[in-house]
Amino acid sequence: MTDLKFNKLTTPWQPAQPIPLPEYPRPQMVRLQWQNLNGWWDYSIQPQALPQPNQFDGKILVPFAPESALSGVERVLQPDEKLWYRRQFEIDHSPEEVAMLHFGAVDHSCQVWVNRKLVGNHWGGFLPFSFDITAALQLGSNELVVMVQDETEAALHQRGKQRLKPAGIWYTSVSGIWQTVWLEVLPKKHIRSLKITPSIETNLLELKVNVGEETLNSLCQLEAIASYEGVEVGRACGGLNSTLVFHLPDAKLWHPDHPHLYDLEVRLVENEKPVDEVQSYFAMREFGKTKDDKGLWRFTLNNEPIFQFGPLDQGYFPEGLYTPPSEEAMLSDIEYAKKIGCNMIRKHVKVEPLRWYHACDRLGLIVWQDMPNGGRTTKDAVVYFTFTSGIHRFDQHRFKRFGREDPQNREEFRAELQDMIETLYNSPCIGVWVPFNESWGQFHAIRIAEWVKSLDPTRLVDHASGWFDQGGGDFQSRHVYVKPLSARISDNRILAVTEFGGYTMQVPDHVYTDRERFGYGHYQDAESLTAAYLSLLEQQVKPLISQGLCAAIYTQLTDIETEINGYLTYDRRVEKMDAHTLREAHQGLIKLL
């Protein structure tokens, strides 16, 4: 086992006690009756060959990963080890009800037992999953055991920026439970999921309701009510296999400047009585693209061109890693992006809890959503050679270069990408899917982009963000550091600079380490950093907007470990530049379109 020697940076927030992150974890499908299982669990880290331990090592605070300070453990799970969790719980349910055990995310693969009965297993470290545990329950106290394995970069699974030996742009690994664990008791006939699709062109909202197996052969009907600020604006009814349709001719459209949200109530009804009911919400908005009067492609929101500016956001916290200490900590990052005048954010190689997307929906930020990378990164020497020589590297063959030589590994990527799209489909804020970043694990990017479009034709696709463009998707997507930005419009796609800047300033007593730093362009004080930043926007970004630039994504929102190129320090305690000055500069760019 490996001990972690933590720099003791902390944000201003503390986890709630006795249950951290007590908020309902699924804002677009809310039921009133549920039970949060976050809190202190037993844990043990054992060699892989050993069975479930009888004695556990100590206590871990769920949902914080064992590598984090807030977990109380501060140890890295190694590829040849298993992480075991155990806790007791009680649950009230009748024979006519179903008990569901939900996990927000567990990295990377796990098996789950209730009262020593295996109730399910799951792989993939970023997305929610659930098990029906009804048959395993007993009266009174119940035992829940979870076993986790996580090979991080020792395998080629999707892992984001995690490394067993972090340095530079690679950060401390995250293993095990890192999002909320919760219980829900449902009627046997129940609503399983919703699919919400708005269309401002037709003034319609389409709602598809997926129900549980017990419901399929019943005489149940569906009812749904849409309302805005407490006033009903539409009502729809239909059979179990029908698509419910709302006609909303005078809809208030969602936009970063006015993020209007509608409430949605969905009921399953039998013999005119409600059997199950969920609360949800939606927005009327539409993403697309069009050519302007100069023949340049523009990104559109609600059929109007919009210039997008915002930060790269990787979602790390010094004491919680992937998991914020509290809801307030999570919200602070989004609120800061709005405070400095941004209208978008790129969620970088991580999938957040659903409450994060709800906050972007509510506060008004367009999200570019990355797929967490897996496979293998391209060596720096190869990248330098390909760019300086002009040789274009294709991704249709020689998959070993990208760590994708195993067909099962490629299929795993596709399955997780589809799961991510289906999980986040209803989030109004998401405008762009990003399957690959800087060639990490890249393969068949054009084919993948077309497939993503077939899964979700309502959004745009950045098929290969930054490097090794294959000519597909909706964007010419460029990462530009050190050298000047340029347009070089050469094909039938939207121009976007999806990473740039990365200017650094080290703030004493607010850094992860004094010995290492990573970024592009180093500045000693706020005055010189601000001057260089404003010059970058004025001299390089602004002129490109009239030449077709539609989005610019600055690296990055916060410092992370050895990277010190954030607007904020890693502990969120210092703003490196004046927020009002940033807001004026950013809004000045956005208003050019």
Residues 259 and 340 in one domain: no
CA pair distance 350, 125, nearest whole angstrom: 10
Count of residues making up the chain: 593
pLDDT of 579 over the 70 cut? yes
Predicted pLDDT at 466 = 87
Is residue 544 in a domain? yes
pLDDT tens, 33-56?
Answer: 999 999 999 999 999 999 999 999
Is residue 7 in a domain? no
CA pair distance 129, 103, nearest whole angstrom: 6
CA pair distance 494, 184, nearest whole angstrom: 44
Cβ atoms of residues 13 and 320 within 8 Å: no
CATH number at residue 77: 2.60.120.260
Lowest mean pLDDT among 224-228, 377-381, 451-455, 537-541: 377-381
Residues 253 and 351 in one domain: no
Is residue 21 in a domain? no
Range of the domain at 274: 191-282
Cβ atoms of residues 180 and 26 within 8 Å: no
Lowest mean pLDDT among 46-50, 89-93, 281-285, 467-471: 467-471
Cβ atoms of residues 73 and 60 within 8 Å: yes
Residue by residue, DSSP assigns 248-272 as -TTPPBEETTEE--EEEEEEEEETT
Q: Sorting pLDDT into bands at 50, 70 and 90, what band is 1?
A: very low
Tokens of 488: 């070089």
- Judge residue 281's burial from the number of C-beta atoms within 10 Å of its C-beta, 0-12 exposed, 13-18 middle, 19 or more buried: buried
Selection from 319, 280, 321 nearest residue 125 by Cα: 321
CATH number at residue 350: 3.20.20.80
Q: Is the dihedral of CA 132, 136, 138, 140 positive or negative?
A: negative
Is residue 4 in a domain? no
Q: Sorting pLDDT into bands at 50, 70 and 90, what band is 217?
A: confident
Predicted pLDDT at 2 = 46
Cα-based angle 4, 312, 282 (whole degrees, multiple of 5): 110
pLDDT tens, 433-442?
Answer: 999 999 899 9
Residue type, 128: P
Is residue 3 in a domain? no
DSSP 8-state symbol, 403: T
CATH number at residue 268: 2.60.40.10
Residues 127 and 166 in one domain: yes
Is residue 14 in a domain? no
Residues 348 and 199 in one domain: no
pLDDT tens, 243-263?
Answer: 999 999 999 999 999 999 999
Residues 467 and 405 in one domain: yes
Last residue of a domain, one of 187, 215, 249: 187
Residues 179 and 278 in one domain: no
Last residue of a domain, one of 157, 187, 217: 187
pLDDT tens, 327-365?
Answer: 999 999 999 999 999 999 999 999 999 999 999 999 999
Residues 360 and 451 in one domain: yes
Give the dihedral of Cα atoms 11, 176, 112, 43; nearest 10 deg.
-80
Last residue of a domain, one of 282, 304, 331: 282
CA pair distance 527, 540, nearest whole angstrom: 20
pLDDT tens, 69-127?
Answer: 999 999 999 999 999 999 999 998 888 899 999 999 999 999 999 999 999 999 999 99
Long-range contacts made by residues 111-119, C-beta under 8 angstroms, separation at least 24?
111/146, 111/147, 112/144, 112/145, 112/146, 112/147, 113/143, 113/144, 113/145, 113/146, 114/142, 114/143, 114/144, 114/145, 115/142, 115/143, 116/143, 116/145
Predicted pLDDT at 362 = 98
Collapsed DSSP state (helix, strand, coil) of residue 104: coil
Tokens of 466: 């930054």
Most confidently modeled range among 399-408, 447-456, 479-488 = 447-456
Give buried/exposed letters for 530-542 (b at 16+ CB in 10 A, else e): beebeebbeebbb
Residues 378 and 521 in one domain: yes
Residues 428 and 540 in one domain: yes
CA pair distance 379, 73, nearest whole angstrom: 34
Average model confidence (pLDDT) across the chain? 93
Is residue 330 in a domain? yes
Lowest mean pLDDT among 111-120, 195-204, 490-499: 490-499
Is residue 233 in a domain? yes
Q: How many CB atoms lie within 10 A of CB 408?
A: 7
What Cα–Cα distance (Å) separates residue 360 from each residue in 7, 124, 172? 30, 24, 26
Residues 262 and 317 in one domain: no
pLDDT of 398 over the 90 cut? no
For the chain, the domain total comes to: 3
Residues 570 and 439 in one domain: yes
Residues 395 and 427 in one domain: yes
